[in-house]
Structure 1
Amino acid sequence: MKFIPKILLFAFMSILFISCSNDDEQPLPETSQNILRINNQEFELKTGLYQTSETQDGLFTFGVILYDTEITFSNGLPRPENETFNGIAFQINIDSDQKPEVGEYLFTGEENPGVNAITEAFTISGNAQNSSGQIIEIEVARLQVVENDEIYVFEMTAIDEEDNEIEVNYSGELELIAN
């Protein structure tokens, strides 16, 4: 008979111990969904621009530039608001002058890749104050256009000519740069 009270006491102590453990939910760190990562460096993307033009093959190019700063326009040209800026630019061949379709776009460096392929991609960084900058070409990339109704959602992984791993996540509107 003494066995049952000992089991009940053990069960009660176990429940008390478990319920008193530190299981308070910790808030998750806030992360931005608009990120450009180049190896260990991370930049929050704040502005997206695009431009379309027709190519000689009856295709259209849809060019995108994503910056880590706000942009103002001077004489029709984009100008970074902050003194220094970083970003990424890529160009997709599409078969209309509208938005690119949802799907996967690859960049292999091929000279004429055809429709639904990336034709050019590079990272950009610079100093708007003294008009200096650097462009590093991307050698291979995989771009996923996830959504394109009211906003654009881009997910990209790439490797540049300096063997840097690049990751892009962007969700937002793109502002048109007039031709």
Structure 2
Amino acid sequence: MDTSEDHKSLKNKGSEHCPEESVAVRPKMEATTPQNSGKAAEKTPAKPCDIEIYEKKIRLLEKQRMDVLEVNKQWDIQWNSMRSQSEQKITDLRQRLAESQKTVLELEAEREQRQRDYDKKLLKQREYQEKEIQRRLNRALEEALNLHTPSSSQQPPGQSNFADAANNLKKQELLTQIAVLKEQV
């Protein structure tokens, strides 16, 4: 809506109803009667064409006011819509964040439980291996003691040196095996 065009059309319409108000006539009247112009303005009551012009201006301003109110109403509706949409988005994002955090906590707890189970399994395997090594060491020690205890009186006199050398060799092998097994523990 162009108010300047409406204003021009109102001026033109007003001057049609009141020819004495036209721009071309006014300077001629002032030029012919310069003394009477001040007195004429004081004595002249409001002309009907002035009232029509003001009524048209009032109607135009009321129309503009209604247009502004309508635009304001539409803007208010749009603003409320945008605000509710953004609030809904914020609510949705907060829910997604809470769900994601809950999922992360659950996965973390699950991972920690798997780690504890794996650690327990490794500990049991270690304990089993240590027991097995201890059992083998005990058996090897027992065999070493059993080999070392045979009496020399049962053997013939010529074989005692040979038997002692063989026993010493076996004893050295057993001690080496025991040392290796201890290092594995």
Question: Normalised by the size of structure 2, how large is the TM-score?
Answer: 0.25
Is the strand fraction higher in 1 or 2? 1
Larger RCO: Structure 1 or Structure 2 (Cα < 8 Å, ≥ 6 residues apart)?
A: 1
